[in-house]
Amino acid sequence: MTKILGHLLWAAVAVLSAFCLAAIALNRGEPVNSMWLVVAAASTYILGFRFYAKFIAARVMALNDKRATPAERLRNGHDFEPTNKWIVFGHHFAAIAGPGPLVGPVLAAQFGYLPGTLWIIIGAVLGGAVQDFIILFASMRRDGKSLGEMAREEIGKIGGFTALLTVLLIMIILLAVVALVVVNALRGSPWATFTIAATMPIAVFMGLYLRYWRPGKVLECSVIGFLLVLGSIFLGQGVAQSPTFAPWFTLSAIALAFAIIIYGFLASALPVWLLLAPRDYLSTFVKLGVILMLGVGILFVRPELQLPAFTRFVDGSGPIFAGKIFPFCFITIACGAISGFHSLISSGTTPKMIAREWHAWPVGYGSMLLESFVAIMAMIAACVLEPGVYFAVNSPAGVVGATPAAAVGTISSWGFPVTVSQMESLARAVGEHTLFSRTGGAPSLALGMAHIFARSGGGDAVVGFWYHFAIMFEALFILTIIDAGTRVGRFMLQDLLGHVHPPLGRTSWMPGVIATSAAVVAAWGYFLYQGVRDPLGGINSLWPLFGIANQLLAAIALCVATTILIKMHGAKFLWITCMPLIWLVMVTFTAAWQKMFSPIPAIGFLAQAERLEAALASGAIAAAKVAETRTLIFNARLDAFVCGLFLALVATILIDSVVSWVGILRGTREREVREAPFVPSRLRPEEI
């Protein structure tokens, strides 16, 4: 009887999922309530988790709770420690949740809510969560080895080296693009700039507090830090209204870019306890709290989506980024559907904390589903804005026009009516001078979040506070990625250069630290500067580059996962990882090819360079702009080169992997599964 009830319950969930997906897919012309998206996503995730992931766990991986995990076998009370599964779940989720799932869906909403939403749900269930889960499993069975180490062992030396090089390159692009998001959010906004500037002395105060006054009291210190940050948001409003102080914090994009570059250098070279670590603690707690608040806010307000299912920009003429739904929707939303970076986390700290093998099921697969749900919430936050407002905020001045009148004229002519007075009153409500062309995704996400939070309580009187709270939240954890990423890049570079000149490899040798920090900062700083100077806002070129890079890293992770599955089962379960891998290869290779060679200058880097060169040759460029145009031509070619380099690196790994798979299947290559030997678990339930 219970079994029949169980079957009926799961059938009901399946029907609910199909009904909600059909409702959001087939609805045209009428506003859709956000709850349809929430229920469609949640019910599909539950089905994916219960059936698909459990099938992979039981039949493919053969998870076995009697087998001791590395956390038990190599327990050292430090890195390796068997931990409660829900704590590992929270830890893993906090590590994988970055700005990607928040910003990507906001940008992809230019196609309408439907393409992005379907990709987030289907991509996560069949691709992203599978990748995270299998890599976590593989690392757990190999004493917590990293993706690079597994690539070297399972595929070969070329694969391993290429994976490491790809990670370094991806990080450079990632840091530039997230820094650009912050620059665009803070540009010309004294309130937001003051709030973010205030987080630096607050982080230093927290660092000193933890080091000298109350060592070890991280939670207590984080609460104080959070209250100080809240205070700085209130104070920021006063600063923005002060004729004396407002000009100090009203910075241009170039000035902000240099400020972030200097910050990145200092954070990389300074002792980690002083700035980086306290900011990291604070950002983790704020991030989890805000995500929870957004979820509760959406459930409470149940807003209607204002953007249609599809917009006219499915034809590739989008103002935020150019290109058709295929492939550009699928690289714009990387984190939230499938993200290569997650494989670094799944083969990092997490496998060293798993107490029982079956815990990898909720931790690896479940955390990614939650991240995907965050992306759905970001999509909702973007789509609750009036379409005219959404495009006015996100479209660069180079596309819609530099004056408010020109911008509203262009956007209204697309069929998304918006007026100057509407934009002015919205800007006034959130304490900004203007909201036109605030590209990058962060301001429109903050507007959507402020709208949801204000409707949850407080009304219009608190919209300004919530807008700046959301900006603070986004900027805070993006800056954490910048400072930590610069430091990691520095370590990678020191490691590499240490083979050439040994002192450069020593992390305690100050000249080496300064030189390598400067080199890494200069690398991402250059791309940031390029984005800031770009007349199309930078996001148009840098975000697709980042999306391609991130998805290519996912392709590498899936190559490793496929190799492991072939070694375990032959070709039987090949489809599990090959299905997302083939899709990713199609998406990323098409996107990269179009970004390099499309004859449309808004899409193809080389066509863009050619058009500018032709304009230079014909004398159409004013003398004062010649040097700038030459830089733009160089940058377009550099972007094309970077795109080509990513493709070449991943093609190398793919070919290496396919050769290895064919060899294993034909029996000409070693099929040994390089797992740690079976040791029975002696862990008692009360120890977890």
Partner 1 sequence: MSSARNLARLIIDLLRELADEAPYKRYLAARGRCHSAEEWRRFSEQRMRARYCRAKCC
Task: Kindly state whether residue 69 participates in binding partner 1, applying the rule CB under 8 A.
Answer: no
Residue from 1, 26, 30, 212 in contact with partner 1 (CB under 8 A): 212
> In the structure encoding, which two tokens stand for residue 395, read together?
């479209």
> In the structure encoding, which two tokens stand for residue 665, read together?
């299947």
Query: If we measure between CA atoms, which residue out of 126, 117, 60, 206 comes closest to residue 673?
Result: 60
Residue from 161, 491, 526, 593 in contact with partner 1 (CB under 8 A): 491
What is the smallest separation between the CB atom of 49 and partner 1, expressed in angstroms? 19
Task: Kindly state whether residue 211 participates in binding partner 1, applying the rule CB under 8 A.
Answer: yes
What sign for the dihedral angle of Cα 495, 501, 506, 509?
Answer: negative
Scan residues 168-207 and list those touching partner 1 (CB under 8 A): 171, 174, 178
Q: Which is nearer to partner 1, 74 or 235 (CB)?
A: 74
Q: Which stretch binds partner 1 (CB under 8 A): 44-52, 92-100, 428-436, 662-670?
A: 92-100
Q: Which is nearer to partner 1, 284 or 598 (CB)?
A: 284
For 449, residues 6+ apart whose C-beta sits below 8 A from its C-beta are 290, 294, 297, 381, 466, 467, 470
Q: Is residue 312 a contact partner of residue 415, using CB atoms and an 8 Å limit? A: yes
Q: Which stretch binds partner 1 (CB under 8 A): 281-289, 430-438, 523-531, 643-651?
A: 281-289
Q: Which is nearer to partner 1, 95 or 423 (CB)?
A: 95
Q: Which is nearer to partner 1, 81 or 386 (CB)?
A: 81
Residue from 56, 120, 180, 218 in contact with partner 1 (CB under 8 A): 218
Q: Which stretch binds partner 1 (CB under 8 A): 84-92, 439-447, 564-572, 597-605?
A: 84-92
What is the smallest separation between the CB atom of 146 and partner 1, expressed in angstroms? 8
CA dihedral 480→486→492→495, nearest 10 degrees, is -120
Scan residues 128-167 and list those touching partner 1 (CB under 8 A): 167
Rounded to 5, what percent of the chain is helix, strand, coil?
75, 0, 25
Residue 32's H or E segment, with its range, is strand 32-33
Scan residues 407-466 and list those touching partner 1 (CB under 8 A): none
Q: Which is nearer to partner 1, 154 or 483 (CB)?
A: 483
Q: Which is nearer to partner 1, 257 or 368 (CB)?
A: 368
How many Cβ atoms sit within 10 Å of the Cβ of residue 234?
11
Residue from 38, 109, 275, 345 in contact with partner 1 (CB under 8 A): 345
Task: Kindly state whether residue 78 participates in binding partner 1, applying the rule CB under 8 A.
Answer: yes
What is the smallest separation between the CB atom of 214 and partner 1, expressed in angstroms? 9
Query: If we measure between CA atoms, which residue out of 61, 28, 25, 30 comes closest to residue 44?
Result: 25
DSSP letters, 302-353, are: -PEE-S-SS-GGGGTT-SSS-S-HHHHHHHHS-TTT--THHHHHHTTTGGGT
Residue from 341, 365, 416, 469 in contact with partner 1 (CB under 8 A): 341
Is the bond leading into 278 cis (omega within 30 degrees of zero)? no
- Residues for the chain: how many in total? 688
Q: What is the 3-state secondary structure (H, E, C) of 477-542?
A: HHHHHHHHHHHHHHHHHHHHHCCCCHHHHCCCCHHHHHHHHHHHHHHHHHHHHHHHHCCCCCHHHH
What is the smallest separation between the CB atom of 376 and partner 1, expressed in angstroms? 18
346 to 375: interface string for partner 1, x by CB under 8 A = --xx--------------------------
What is the smallest separation between the CB atom of 86 and partner 1, expressed in angstroms? 6
What is the smallest separation between the CB atom of 365 and partner 1, expressed in angstroms? 17
How many Cβ atoms sit within 10 Å of the Cβ of residue 54?
15
DSSP letters, 554-574, are: HHHHHHHHHHHHHHHHTTTTH
Scan residues 588-627 and list those touching partner 1 (CB under 8 A): none
Residue 33's H or E segment, with its range, is strand 32-33
Residue from 67, 91, 141, 145 in contact with partner 1 (CB under 8 A): 91
**What are the beta bridge partners of residue 67?**
680
Query: If we measure between CA atoms, which residue out of 628, 647, 445, 668 comes closest to residue 556?
Result: 647
Q: Which is nearer to partner 1, 548 or 576 (CB)?
A: 548
> In the structure encoding, which two tokens stand for residue 246, read together?
């407002």
Q: Which is nearer to partner 1, 222 or 598 (CB)?
A: 222
DSSP letters, 61-105, are: S---TTBPPHHHHT--SSSS--B-HHHHHHHHHHHH--SHHHHHH
Q: Which is nearer to partner 1, 28 or 214 (CB)?
A: 214
What is the smallest separation between the CB atom of 198 and partner 1, expressed in angstroms? 22
What is the smallest separation between the CB atom of 434 and partner 1, expressed in angstroms? 29
Scan residues 533-572 and list those touching partner 1 (CB under 8 A): 546, 550
What is the smallest separation between the CB atom of 75 and partner 1, expressed in angstroms? 9
Residue from 27, 81, 200, 237 in contact with partner 1 (CB under 8 A): 81
How many Cβ atoms sit within 10 Å of the Cβ of residue 622?
9
Q: Please measure the distance between the N-terminal and C-terminal CA atoms of the chain and give it in whole angstroms.
A: 34
What is the smallest separation between the CB atom of 334 and partner 1, expressed in angstroms? 8
Number of amino acids touching partner 1 (CB under 8 A)? 56
Q: Which is nearer to partner 1, 197 or 334 (CB)?
A: 334
Q: Which is nearer to partner 1, 29 or 77 (CB)?
A: 77
Residues that bind partner 1 (CB under 8 A): 76-79, 81, 83-84, 86-87, 90-91, 94-100, 167, 171, 174, 178, 210-212, 215-219, 222, 272-273, 276-277, 281, 284-285, 334-335, 339, 341-342, 344-345, 348-349, 480-481, 484-485, 487-488, 491, 546, 550
